[in-house]
Structure 1
Amino acid sequence: MFKLDLSLDSAPISAALQELEKKHLPFVLMLTATRLAQRVKKGTITVMGKRLDRPTPTTLNSLFVKMASKGKPAQVYFKDEWTSGVPADTYLQQTVVGGLRPHKRFEKALIARGLMKSSQYALPNASLLNQYGNVSRGTMLKILSGLGAAELRSGYQANASISKRSKRKGNAHRFFSGAVDGQQGIWERKTIGRAEGVRPVFVFSDGAPGYRTIFPFFKIGENIVKANYAVEFADAFAHAMATAKP
């Protein structure tokens, strides 16, 4: 979360003018902070589009502005919860600060089921990636269902079973976890003609994937504020003077 908390001391005006117009300055500073926050949002989205690898529309639309109010700063923040899926402020952390990637929900389900060690990470086969470089939630659910690891919460039944419908979908036969030619991972059985083969869906790595900082969110915000503060303050001050009651 990026905050813009402007004070009277930071106002770029003379002491005499500050005393003369002191009653208008709180409004001017709130308006300035809000407009700067809107600039930060717009500039940040532009940088995200350039630096992130194929960001989804959901990612680009996850940034919000909270207007400044009396005693409260303006804020630019990523939505921290969704009705489903992982919120943007969670999965963007590594691109903002760098470091090792924590386990994803998919991996936690595999670990809980005993299919993967807690020290391992699941790396997807490139053929599974969609246009945004991700594995779709539908595909991951099919895999977890076939492996018997899809029941992530109480009362939710999604694992493949012996029912006719489940057998018809075939996920329990289609996917399995284990080692093939010494490589541990999740595998998919594929029938080509009369022969049956396997291909890797996810391979297991013994080390956590690392990320460098490619999206310095806070630095971007600071630079935008520094570059535009004087202009936005002047515009907000002029607006306040033009609309002030005599």
Structure 2
Amino acid sequence: MVKIKITPDMLPVSEALLELEKKHIPHVLTLTATRLAQRVKKGELTVMAQRLDRPTRTTMNSLFVKIATKSKPAEVYFKDSWTSGIPADTYLQQTVRGGPRPHKRFEKSLISNGLMRAGQYAIPSPNVLDRHGNVSRGLMNKILSGLGAAESRRGYKANATGSKRSQRKGNARSYFSGVVDGTAGVWERKETAFGDAVRPVFVFSRSAPVYRTIFPFFKIANNICKANYSAEFRGAFADAMATAKP
């Protein structure tokens, strides 16, 4: 989150400013901060489209602006909660800050159920990625169900069982965790014309994936504010003077 607040000591002193009645100054400050925040959002979205790898529509629609008030700064922020799924504020952290990523919910489920070691990370196989380079939530749920590691929600646990309905889905038969040809991971059983085969879905690495900073959110915001502060202040000041009562 970026907060943008303009205070009187930041204003360029001029005769015109001194003539402005004090009751109008707070309006100038909040309007300047809000317009800067709107510029920041526009600039951030441009960089996101250029630097993020095939960002989804949800990701591009996750950036919001909260207008400034007399007591609160303007804010530019990613939505930090959804009705379902992981919010952009969480999954964009590595692109913003860089460094090793923490375990994802899927990996925590594997670890808590003894299917993967605490120091390992699940790296998806290219053949399970969608057009945005992600593993769909539906596929991850199917895998966890087949492995008996699905999370319990509202008293219901979606793990595969011996019921006919569960057997028709075939998740327990399709997925297993183990070592195949010296490689640890989550595997999928496939029936082929040449017999049964297995292919990796996730391969377990021994160290955390490390990300470089490709979307310096705060630096971008700071540069936009510095470059446009004077213009936005002059515009807000002119608007205040035009509407000020004599």
Contact 1:55–1:132 at 8 Å: present in 2 too?
yes
- Whichever residue aligns with residue 19 of structure 1, its letter is L
CA distance in 1, matches of 2:148, 2:104: 18
CA distance in 2, matches of 1:49, 1:123: 25
The 5 Å alignment of 1:58-137 reads: 58-137=58-137
The 5 Å alignment of 1:143-222 reads: 143-153=143-153, 155-193=155-193, 195-222=195-222
For residue 24 of structure 1, report the CA deviation from its aligned partner.
Answer: 1.4
Q: TM-score, normalised by structure 1?
A: 0.97
In the TM superposition, what whole-angstrom CA distance separates every residue of 1:114-150 from its partner, at most 9, and x where no partner exists? Answer: 1000100000010100011000000000000000011
CA distance in 2, matches of 1:173, 1:219: 49
RMSD (Å), alpha carbons: 1.1
Contact 1:101–1:208 at 8 Å: present in 2 too?
yes
For residue 91 of structure 1, report the CA deviation from its aligned partner.
Answer: 0.9
In the TM superposition, what whole-angstrom CA distance separates every residue of 1:25-59 from its partner, at most 9, and x where no partner exists? Answer: 11001001001000100110110010111111111
Q: Which runs of 4+ in 1 moved over 3 A?
A: none
Give 1:47's aligned residue. Answer: 47
- Whichever residue aligns with residue 141 of structure 1, its letter is N
In the TM superposition, what whole-angstrom CA distance separates every residue of 1:180-214 from its partner, at most 9, and x where no partner exists? Answer: 00100000000002500100000000000001111
SS of residue in 2 equivalent to 1:149: coil
CA distance in 2, matches of 1:199, 1:208: 23
Contact 1:122–1:205 at 8 Å: present in 2 too?
yes
Among the aligned pairs, what percent are the same residue?
A: 68
For residue 153 of structure 1, report the CA deviation from its aligned partner.
Answer: 4.2
In the TM superposition, what whole-angstrom CA distance separates every residue of 1:78-130 from its partner, at most 9, and x where no partner exists? Answer: 11111111111111111111110000000001011110001000000101000
SS of residue in 1 equivalent to 2:54: coil
SS of residue in 2 equivalent to 1:27: helix
For residue 13 of structure 1, report the CA deviation from its aligned partner.
Answer: 3.5
For residue 154 of structure 1, report the CA deviation from its aligned partner.
Answer: 5.4
Give 1:18's aligned residue. Answer: 17
SS of residue in 2 equivalent to 1:228: helix
CA distance in 2, matches of 1:211, 1:77: 21
Unmatched segments (≥5 aa) in structure 2: none
Give 1:139's aligned residue. Answer: 139
